[in-house]
């Protein structure tokens, strides 16, 4: 732990509050004038991430789900694609999309995130999705594990994804024009992973399996994408859902969970903080009451309602208690301008937050080492 406080930001949808999308004009913005080829969704994610990067945010997270969630657009593009879209449009901001292990094949998870690490030049992360997935059976036409089986399957998926990221040595790509070889196959490795689970293996018979059955899987490897600039993308997960040894960053809902995360051996611990700020001449309490009147909020964990100065004071108090804070704005279009204008600059003046530099990887910014390949170390 250091006295530097990393600020992360959730940028999916209209905001954290389930009524955020009901407040005009907080709907999908129109196509920007003079840019007919830019879709409204693309314009929004580009605008929001640019504001976050310019403010000095360490990384942004992109939430995701199979079915529409309150405050989220029904037609949104998946989280990895949104992160990939802004990868070449940013240079300092970490990009951490949510991917749920229960609904995406492990090999594809590893490939997509390794490709994102290349596209962003080393600024990719993975927010590990956990818990039940509404609509999974209908979307996938197969059962999805639940309960303790889902927890165990998540551990297996994170493990094999990390193995696959190591299945290429850093110098496996040789581009030897004299011999016509692109890779040195001796520097690629099979992971030979077999998961737990006693349900039926993936096959047409899986469609008739009962809900909750855990289908075992095997992964041979190696990956089809070379090892990324970071070696492994930064793995972010909620405390208690993935063993600390598999995480780089743990998200905790409350300060009471910090000691448990540190005891689990996680390198960086960030606390989630829902914020409703004084904005556009309206006190945060009034904004919160207005949102709750539309759809009753169910905020759990740490929350702040009030002016920017109070939030700055709270964040400074958290320095040294946690390694960072992931801010969850109640209404993104209202709270983000206040964060950019009044909160982040005050934290920089207090030298409380890092200033990500162009060309730095997300691991560099977080002060995390670049892991050596576990296969290269024993080759």
Q: Over the stretch 260-286, which tens digit does the pLDDT of each residue have?
A: 999 999 999 999 999 999 998 999 999
Q: What is the pLDDT of residue 28?
A: 44
The reply to whether 379 falls in a domain is no
The reply to whether 153 falls in a domain is no
* CATH code: domain of residue 301: 3.20.20.30
Could you give the number of structural domains in the chain?
Answer: 1
* Portion of the chain with pLDDT greater than 90, in percent: 64
The reply to whether 10 falls in a domain is yes
Q: What is the pLDDT of residue 34?
A: 44
For the chain, the average pLDDT equals 89
pLDDT band at residue 2 using 50, 70 and 90 as cut-offs: low
Q: What is the pLDDT of residue 140?
A: 82
Q: Over the stretch 316-345, which tens digit does the pLDDT of each residue have?
A: 999 999 999 999 999 999 999 999 999 999
Average pLDDT for residues 75-88, to the nearest whole number? 92
The reply to whether 206 falls in a domain is no
pLDDT band at residue 201 using 50, 70 and 90 as cut-offs: confident
SS3 assignment for the chain: CCCCCEEEEECCCCCCCCCHHHCCCCCCCCCCCCCCCCCHHHHHHHHHHHHHHHHCCCEEEECCCCCCCCCCCCCCCCHHHHHHHHHHHCCCCEEEEEECCCCCCHHHHHHHHHHHHHHCCCCEEEEECCCCCCCHHHHHCCCCECHHHHHHHHHHHHHHHHHHHCCECCCCEEEECCCCEEECHHHECCCCEECCCCCCCCCHHHHHCCCECCCCCEECCCCCCCCECCECCEEEEECCCCCHHHCCEEEECCHHHHHHHHHCCCCEEEEEEEEEECECCECHHHHHHHHHHHCCCCCCCEEEEECHHHHHHHHHHHECCECEEEEEECCHHHHHHHHHHHHHHHHHHCCCCCCCCCCCCHHHHHCCCCCCCCCCCCC
Q: What is the pLDDT of residue 143?
A: 83
The reply to whether 227 falls in a domain is no
The model's pTM: 0.92
Structural domain including 350 reads 6-132+232-366
The reply to whether 203 falls in a domain is no
Q: Over the stretch 121-176, which tens digit does the pLDDT of each residue have?
A: 999 999 999 888 888 888 888 888 888 989 999 999 999 999 999 999 998 888 88
The reply to whether 246 falls in a domain is yes
The reply to whether 170 falls in a domain is no
């Amino acid at each position: 732990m250091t006295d530097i406080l990393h600020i992360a930001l959730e940028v999916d949808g209209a905001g954290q509050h389930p009524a955020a999308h009901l407040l005009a004009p907080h709907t999908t913005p129109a196509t920007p004038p003079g840019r007919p080829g830019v879709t409204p969704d693309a314009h929004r994610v580009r605008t929001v991430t640019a504001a976050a990067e310019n403010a000095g945010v360490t990384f942004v997270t992109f939430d995701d789900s199979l079915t529409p969630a309150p405050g989220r657009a029904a037609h949104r593009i998946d989280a990895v694609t949104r992160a990939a879209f802004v990868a070449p449009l940013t240079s300092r901001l970490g990009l951490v999309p949510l991917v749920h292990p229960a609904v995406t094949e492990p090999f594809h998870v590893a490939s997509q995130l390794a490709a994102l690490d290349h596209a962003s030049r080393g600024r990719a992360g993975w927010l590990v999705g956990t818990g039940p997935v509404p609509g999974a059976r209908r979307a996938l036409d197969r059962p999805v594990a639940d309960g303790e089986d889902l927890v165990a399957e998540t551990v297996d998926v994170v493990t094999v994804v990390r193995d696959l990221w190591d299945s290429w040595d850093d110098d496996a790509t040789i581009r030897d024009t004299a011999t016509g070889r692109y890779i040195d196959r001796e520097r690629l490795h099979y992971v030979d992973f077999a998961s737990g689970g006693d349900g039926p293996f993936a096959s047409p018979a899986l469609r008739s399996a009962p809900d909750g059955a855990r289908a075992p899987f095997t992964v041979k490897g190696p990956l089809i994408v070379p090892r990324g600039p970071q070696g492994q993308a930064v793995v972010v997960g909620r405390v208690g859902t993935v063993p600390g040894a598999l995480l780089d960053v743990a998200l905790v809902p409350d300060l009471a969970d910090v000691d448990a995360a540190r005891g689990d051996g996680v390198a960086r611990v960030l606390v989630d903080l829902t914020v409703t700020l004084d904005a556009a001449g309206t006190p945060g309490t009034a904004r919160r009451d207005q949102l709750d009147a539309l759809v009753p909020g169910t905020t759990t964990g740490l929350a702040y309602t009030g002016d920017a100065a109070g939030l700055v004071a709270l964040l400074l108090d958290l320095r040294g208690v946690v390694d960072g804070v992931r801010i969850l704005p109640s209404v993104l279009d209202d709270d983000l301008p206040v964060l950019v204008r009044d909160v982040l600059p005050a934290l920089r003046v207090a030298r409380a937050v890092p200033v990500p530099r162009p060309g730095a990887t997300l691991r560099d910014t977080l002060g995390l080492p670049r892991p050596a390949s576990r296969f290269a170390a024993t080759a």
